[in-house]
């Protein structure tokens, strides 16, 4: 049996997979088992920000893998301590809780927002308002937080205490506030929902509202953070800071790691025993992530992301001007989306398949949006090649 047959026979059929099995990755490129080379404009869904098998990350993994991999959070380890202090140094936060995925980081944030008030004796504050079209994960609490109906089907009843308002609509948000609200949770740039950036005025108004009402503001930067939008954290584009922020995806450049960062005040919601996970912050994952943060947080690196993002977006906008079926181009940095009008029987997957045949990896979201989230080290000449492939397809 080949890898496709074996996977289809033995792995849960929850993912619609494409193409051949990949066997190798280097920088912005992937190779399949037939030796065909692809240029990667997806980076494992915004995970391999530094590209595949970045030498410094590989070196950090190798060194740590041969020294100490796991001891549990009953003990101290230096890589975890170093990563936590580095993340705090580079952000608004004072404390970090380590998890293993984005959903788990968001679970931690949801639990922290509730416990923050319950610990103070404020037991009626438990509700979290999130945005329509948001995506926060697939565990029961994060699915409940997610503002997209279609992925909730079959899982009701969901967790109580979530409500949803249209993204970028401050009046709708104000109308939803009452004395039961403990948190507002949003992605500064929505990813899965269709690459939709927050409106700067909206984000500022949300911060003010949270200050006025004593509500915790939670930013989910699992997809838009870690340099993806041209700043280490996407909220820096807006000059608005949250009380709690979640990270995952690109934090480990492929090693599973999630993190919840919080101010000292918000972090006081958790005490010894309030929350835990066996694998969170292993020496292996944190040693890799520390190296990732060291590289991505350099201003020269981030400036290059912004430059390439502008270059890429300009080219996409030119395609829009040329082809009437392109209805929108949007996004920040190297998290870009292109909305297209398709013939009746086709969706974005049609374009994804055609591009894959031409040796490019992208993906489609919300049926009609092409998402581009290449490694942040992608070169302009590779962007040019994708643009001309897209041009001929359009």
Ligand X SMILES: Cc1ncc(COP(=O)(O)O)c(C=O)c1O
The number of beta carbons lying within 10 Å of the beta carbon of residue 23 is: 12
Residues 132-191 that bind ligand X (CB under 6 A): 135-137, 187, 191
Select the residue interacting with ligand X from 48, 110, 145, 222 (CB under 6 A): 222
Residue of 30, 83, 98, 192 that binds ligand X (CB under 6 A): 192
Walk across the sheet containing 22-26 and list its strands. 22-26, 29-32, 37-40, 360-361
123 catalytic? Reply is no
Please report, as residue ranges, which positions from 31 to 60 form the binding site for ligand X (by CB under 6 A).
Answer: none
Catalytic position from the list 220, 270, 320, 372: 220
* CB-based burial, 209-219: b 16+ in 10 Å, e otherwise: bbeeeebbbbb
135 classed as catalytic: yes
Task: Answer yes or no whether residue 369 interacts with ligand X by CB under 6 A.
Answer: no
Q: Which is nearer to ligand X, 215 or 222 (CB)?
A: 222
Name the maximum alpha-carbon separation found in the chain.
62
- The residue count for binding ligand X (CB under 6 A) is 14
Q: Which of 40, 220, 291, 339 binds ligand X (CB under 6 A)?
A: 220
Nearest residue relative to ligand X (C-beta): 102
Site string for ligand X, 99-138 (x = CB under 6 A): --xxx--x----------------------------xxx-
Find the binding residues for ligand X in span 295-354 (CB under 6 A). Answer: none
Distance of CA 263 to the CA centre of its chain: 21
| Helix then strand then coil, % of the chain, to nearest 5 | 40, 20, 40
CB of 249 to ligand X, least distance (A): 6
117: helix, coil or strand? helix
DSSP class of 378: -
Q: Is 360 marked active-site?
A: no
Distances (CA, A) of 139 to 106, 158, 257, 333: 9, 10, 16, 29
> Which residue in 127, 231, 249, 315 is the catalytic one?
249
Q: Which of 92, 98, 135, 202 is catalytic?
A: 135
DSSP 8-state code for residue 73:
T
Q: Compute the least distance from the CB of residue 63 to ligand X, in Å.
A: 25
The H or E element spanning position 293 is helix 283-296
Residue closer to ligand X by CB (options 281, 390) is: 281
Q: With respect to ligand X, which residue has the nearer C-beta, 52 or 136?
A: 136
For the CB of residue 146, give the shortest distance to ligand X in the complex, in Å: 8
Q: What is the CB neighbour count within 10 angstroms for residue 271?
A: 9
228: nearest Cα among 371, 105, 22, 14? 371
Footprint of ligand X on this chain (CB under 6 A)? 101-103, 106, 135-137, 187, 191-192, 220, 222-223, 248
Q: Looking at the annotation, which residues are catalytic?
A: 135, 220, 249
């Amino acid at each position: 049996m080949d890898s496709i047959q074996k996977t289809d026979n033995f792995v849960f059929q929850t993912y619609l997979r494409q193409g051949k099995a990949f066997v190798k990755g280097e920088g912005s490129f992937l190779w399949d088992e037939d030796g065909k080379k692809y240029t990667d404009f997806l980076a494992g869904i915004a995970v391999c920000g530094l590209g595949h098998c970045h030498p410094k990350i590989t070196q950090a993994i190798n060194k740590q893998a041969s020294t100490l991999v796991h001891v549990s959070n009953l003990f101290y380890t230096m890589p975890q301590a170093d990563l936590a202090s580095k993340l705090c140094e580079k952000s608004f936060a004072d404390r970090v809780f380590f998890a293993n995925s984005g959903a788990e980081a968001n679970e931690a944030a949801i639990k922290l927002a509730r416990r923050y008030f319950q610990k103070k004796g404020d037991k009626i504050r438990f509700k979290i308002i999130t945005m329509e079209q948001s995506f926060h994960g697939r565990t029961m609490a994060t699915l409940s937080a997610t503002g997209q109906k279609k992925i909730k089907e079959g899982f009701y009843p969901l967790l109580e205490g979530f409500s949803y308002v249209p993204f970028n609509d401050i009046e709708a948000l104000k109308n939803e506030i009452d004395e039961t609200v403990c948190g507002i949770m949003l992605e500064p740039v929505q990813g899965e929902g269709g690459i939709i950036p927050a409106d700067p005025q909206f984000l500022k108004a949300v911060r003010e509202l949270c200050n006025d009402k004593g509500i915790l503001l939670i930013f989910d930067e699992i997809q838009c953070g870690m340099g993806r939008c041209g700043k280490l954290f996407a909220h820096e584009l807006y000059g608005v800071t949250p009380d709690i922020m979640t990270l995952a995806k690109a934090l480990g450049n492929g090693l599973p790691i999630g993190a919840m960062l919080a101010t000292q005040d918000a972090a006081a919601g958790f005490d010894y025993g309030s929350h835990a996970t066996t694998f969170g912050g292993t020496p292996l994952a944190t040693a890799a992530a520390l190296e990732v943060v060291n590289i991505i947080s350099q201003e020269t690196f981030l400036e290059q992301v912004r430059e390439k993002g502008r270059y890429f977006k300009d080219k996409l906008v030119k395609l829009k001007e040329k082809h009437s079926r392109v209805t929108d181009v949007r996004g920040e940095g190297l998290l870009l989306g292109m909305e297209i009008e398709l013939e009746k029987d086709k969706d974005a997957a049609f374009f994804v398949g055609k591009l894959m045949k031409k040796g490019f990896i992208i993906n489609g979201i919300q049926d009609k949006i092409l998402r581009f989230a290449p490694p942040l080290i992608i070169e302009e000449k590779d962007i040019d090649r994708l643009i001309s492939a897209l041009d001929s397809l359009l």
